């Protein structure tokens, strides 16, 4: 069964460093999402992406964040200058046109900023 994959599973970085989190959505999906979950808190929406542009973003998704679909398979989240409070589990999700309600999630990347 097709699934969303994410790499790495765990990323440790120093404050101020740039990180890129990678996701491979399900191959025929057209909508892509990033969510995050700070330890002990809710899963929060960050951004949605369709047709090579951002379709919606939350107030969390400030200028330090960017997303890109650099080729036909990857979908990346970049944090330019990480802060301690960026430490969280980051989930990628995707969906296609025919399953409007269902987003398929990856296993997540745990980001630790020291």
Partner 1 sequence: GDSVTQMEGPVTLSEEAFLTINCTYTATGYPSLFWYVQYPGEGLQLLLKATKADDKGSNKGFEATYRKETTSFHLEKGSVQVSDSAVYFCALRTGYKLSFGAGTTVTVRA
Q: In terms of DSSP bridges, do strands 10-13 and 109-113 run parallel, antiparallel, or are they unpaired?
A: parallel
> Using the rule CB under 8 A, is 105 a contact of partner 1?
yes
The tokens of 39 are what? 């330890």
What is residue 13's three-state secondary structure?
strand
Q: Work out the number of other CB atoms within 10 angstroms of the CB of residue 75.
A: 25
State the residue for tokens 């998704």: 61
CB of 31 or CB of 75, closer to partner 1: 31
Among 31, 61, 75, 90, binds partner 1 (CB under 8 A): 31
Residues 6+ apart with CB under 8 A from 44: 35, 36, 37, 38, 58, 60
The least distance separating partner 1 from the CB of residue 97, rounded to whole angstroms, comes to: 13
Among 4, 19, 77, 79, binds partner 1 (CB under 8 A): 4
> Using the rule CB under 8 A, is 114 a contact of partner 1?
no
State the residue for tokens 């790499």: 7
Residues of span 73-92 touching partner 1 by CB under 8 A: 91
DSSP 103: P
The 35-74 site mask, x for binding partner 1 (CB under 8 A), equals: x-----xxxxx--x-x----xx-x----------------
The footprint of partner 1 (CB under 8 A) covers: 3-4, 31, 33, 35, 41-45, 48, 50, 55-56, 58, 91, 93, 101-108
């Amino acid at each position: 069964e097709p699934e969303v994959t994410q790499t790495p599973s765990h990323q440790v970085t120093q404050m101020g460093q740039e990180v890129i989190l990678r996701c491979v959505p399900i191959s025929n999906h057209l909508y892509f999402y990033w969510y995050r979950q700070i330890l002990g808190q809710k899963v929060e929406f960050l951004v949605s992406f369709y047709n090579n542009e951002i379709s919606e973003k939350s107030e969390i998704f400030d200028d330090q964040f960017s997303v890109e679909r650099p080729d036909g398979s990857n979908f990346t989240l970049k944090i330019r200058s990480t802060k301690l409070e960026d430490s969280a589990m980051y989930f990628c999700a995707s969906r296609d046109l025919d399953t409007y309600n269902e987003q398929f999630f990856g296993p997540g990347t745990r980001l630790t900023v020291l």
